[in-house]
């Protein structure tokens, strides 16, 4: 059976399964520290004149692990460390109010959480039941846009609409792997701290590293590195300007809520939102 006969979701599942052996998180903090510090040294040698590729990140991560005498099962975690170290200098050129922070809802304390969900994810009320409120509050005080969600379509929309120029996040290695291709395609400066455990419920991470990432200083200087993001944003504006005339709506319903309109109208509105994103 050819790849074109398999659904996109099935392909993602297959790819995730095929890389499970390299997505082991080092459970020893000193080991993670060693990899992280070496990643900064490796990043200094990497060229910022061309778009970063997955192959470059993977090659550097493999070399790093070999140098430290560590197993290749840490490759996924090490790739995140290398990518974050590479992009840090570019993130520093982005003002705080132009940075988007993504936090995972799975870090919340489910027995105490008083938050609710909407289209953009978990709406934290800073109840003090977990560290999400503290991390979110710290980022907001600096000027960040913060979302507690995973894989929300709103994220790409915010980036392509020009509302964010850098992406910082906390997620499991599976989620970070799924996001990598889009990040590399756009060339948007990105940093991440992987979760220490999976399971999608009451997960934990190196919170001091998350805070350090959030507080990555802003340095007013010209942005280095190449990116397709400006062209992608122009394309989005062109589509938004012409979409209604090129594909006129057949039904009257634009609010996206079933309770306020007919299902067919809502479906059409969702399709328009998808085309814009």
pLDDT at position 69? 98
pLDDT at position 7? 41
On the 0-12 / 13-18 / 19+ scale of CB atoms within 10 A, 56 is: middle
pLDDT, one tens digit per residue, over 53-105 is 999 999 999 999 999 999 999 999 999 999 999 999 999 999 999 999 999 98
pLDDT at position 85? 97
Measured CA to CA, the distance from residue 214 to residue 200 in angstroms comes to: 22
* Extents of the domains making up the chain: 3-214, 229-276
Q: Cα separations (Å) of 111 from 129, 137, 154, 200, 205? A: 9, 21, 27, 15, 19
**Are the C-beta atoms of 125 and 115 separated by less than 8 Å?**
yes
Q: Cα separations (Å) of 16 from 12, 50, 238, 258? A: 6, 27, 35, 34
For the chain, which ranges sit under pLDDT 50?
1-17, 255-260
Question: Where are the strands (E) in 74-214, listed by range?
Answer: 99-103, 116-118, 121-123, 145-148, 166-171, 190-194
pLDDT at position 121? 83
Phi and psi at 166, nearest 5°, equal -150, 145
**DSSP 8-state secondary structure symbol assigned to residue 193:** E
pLDDT at position 178? 87
pLDDT at position 225? 57
**What SS3 class is residue 125?**
coil
pLDDT at position 261? 53
pLDDT at position 36? 98
pLDDT at position 22? 95
**Are the C-beta atoms of 104 and 170 separated by less than 8 Å?**
yes
Measured CA to CA, the distance from residue 183 to residue 228 in angstroms comes to: 10
pLDDT at position 268? 72
pLDDT at position 14? 41
Measured CA to CA, the distance from residue 40 to residue 89 in angstroms comes to: 11
Q: What is the pTM of this model?
A: 0.74
Q: Please give the full DSSP string across 200-235, using - where no structure is assigned.
A: SSS--B-HHHHHHHHTPPP--SPPPS--SHHHHHHH
């Amino acid at each position: 059976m050819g790849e074109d006969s398999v659904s996109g979701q099935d392909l993602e599942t297959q790819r995730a399964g095929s890389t499970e052996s390299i997505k082991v998180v080092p459970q020893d903090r000193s080991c993670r520290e060693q990899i992280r510090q070496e990643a900064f040294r490796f990043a200094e040698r990497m060229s910022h004149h061309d778009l970063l590729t997955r192959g470059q990140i993977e090659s550097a991560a493999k070399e790093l692990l070999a140098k430290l005498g560590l197993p290749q099962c840490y490759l996924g975690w090490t790739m995140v460390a290398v990518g974050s170290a590479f992009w840090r200098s570019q993130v520093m050129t982005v003002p705080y109010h132009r940075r988007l922070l993504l936090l995972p809802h799975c870090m919340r304390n489910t027995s105490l959480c008083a938050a609710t969900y909407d289209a953009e994810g978990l709406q934290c009320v800073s109840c003090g039941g977990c560290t999400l409120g503290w991390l979110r509050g710290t980022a907001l005080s600096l000027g960040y846009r913060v979302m507690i969600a995973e894989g929300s379509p709103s994220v790409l929309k915010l980036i392509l609409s020009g509302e964010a120029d850098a992406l910082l996040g906390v997620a499991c290695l599976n989620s970070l792997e799924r996001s990598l291709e889009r990040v590399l395609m756009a060339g948007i400066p990105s940093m991440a701290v992987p979760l220490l455990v999976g399971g999608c419920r009451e997960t934990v991470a190196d919170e001091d590293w998350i805070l350090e990432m959030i507080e990555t200083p802003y340095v007013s200087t010209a942005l280095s590195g190449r990116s397709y993001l400006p062209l992608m944003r122009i394309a989005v504006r062109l589509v938004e300007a012409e979409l209604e005339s090129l594909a006129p709506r057949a039904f009257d319903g634009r609010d996206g809520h079933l309770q306020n309109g007919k299902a067919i109208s809502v479906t059409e509105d969702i399709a328009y939102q998808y085309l814009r994103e």
